[in-house]
Amino acid sequence: MIRLLALVIVATPIVVALADDPPATKPQVRFRRPATNASLTERQRDVVQKLHETIRFDRAFENVPLKDILDFLGDRSEMTIVIDYRSFREAFGEANVGEQQIRLSKLGITTPRQVLEYVLNSIDGGFLIRGDHVEVVHHSRLLREVFGKLEMPTDEADRTLLPIAHIAARNEPLSAVFAGIADQTGRNVVIDPRVNEKMNGLVTMRLLNTPVDTAVTTLAQMYDLVAVPVDNTFVITARPLAAGFVAVPADLKPKRK
């Protein structure tokens, strides 16, 4: 169970489209333009919110092209979803991933993020937030974008399995931002009650396509706190208190005099 305050979401409709298809198979695309007076940061915040809002996904797909499922999801969630065909060609050759046949059961009440993860795991893919839209990419491109590396060192290989967090906050309480990360990623984020006074601090930041450990640690450090990983949980506490928790990283353990 995720033990945190719920993040209040206010969303604005954005675009529905499937773009960047190879010229020979480019589908007809329907656009609903976002408000032209919205800044890029505001539109990115809308994308983050739309990805994690609940929707009813009440249709099953049996051997349906990937691009059709993404188009259906775009309609339901009012998002632009684009396929990066080049990243898949680099991995698979000339195969048109948009025509890849996908099977997907009815999911009922879910989120667009969960649908994307179910679908894209079957084709060794993932997604990134690019500007004001979602971009579907091959896993190798995802690693390069998220970790800045083509290959992970052996001692960091497990980090490639971490869920990705997306923060686009404007004057939101620190506790609510931690709650949003927990809701997005399925990781527990527990606030040490001894640092509750810092949880009302207001956060304005944009941190997209970021591993959950980096996101939580960065956010904690901005408020002179530390995030102690304990299995699938991050405990947010003050540095002098960190040694009181199990599985404390070596750099947080008190040094012998």
In order, the DSSP letters of the chain are ---SPPPP--------EEE---GGGPPP----PPPTTS-HHHHHHHHHHHHHS-EEE---EEEEEHHHHHHHHHHHHT-EEEE-HHHHHHHHSS--GGG-EEEE---EEE-HHHHHHHHHHTTTEEEEEETTEEEEEEHHHHHHHHHS-SS--GGGGGGGGSPEEEEEEEEEEHHHHHHHHHHHH--EEEE-GGGGGGGG-EEEEEEEEEEHHHHHHHHHHHTT-EEEEETTEEEEE-GGGGGGSSS--GGGSPPP-
Q: What is the CATH number of the domain that holds 120?
A: 3.55.50.60
Residues 229-248 pLDDT 10s: 998 999 999 999 998 886 55
If asked whether residues 27 and 129 sit together in one domain, one would say: yes
- Domain identity same for 29 and 143: yes
74 within some domain? yes
- Are 152 and 166 within one domain? no
Q: Look at residues 159, 191, 210 and tell me which one is the last residue of a structural domain.
A: 159
Q: What is the pTM of this model?
A: 0.78
Is 144 part of any domain? Answer: yes
Q: Which of 138, 159, 180 is the endpoint of a domain?
A: 159
**What's the rounded mean pLDDT across residues 135-145?**
94
Q: Which of 131, 159, 187 is the last residue of a domain?
A: 159
What are 81-119's pLDDT values in tens digits?
999 999 999 988 877 999 999 999 999 999 999 999 999
Quick one: 153 and 166 in the same domain? no
Residues 163-175 have pLDDT tens digits of 999 999 999 999 9
Shared-domain flag, residues 48 and 118: yes
Residue 257 lies in a domain: no
Q: Say if residue 79 is in the same domain as residue 101.
A: yes
* Domain carrying residue 88: 17-159
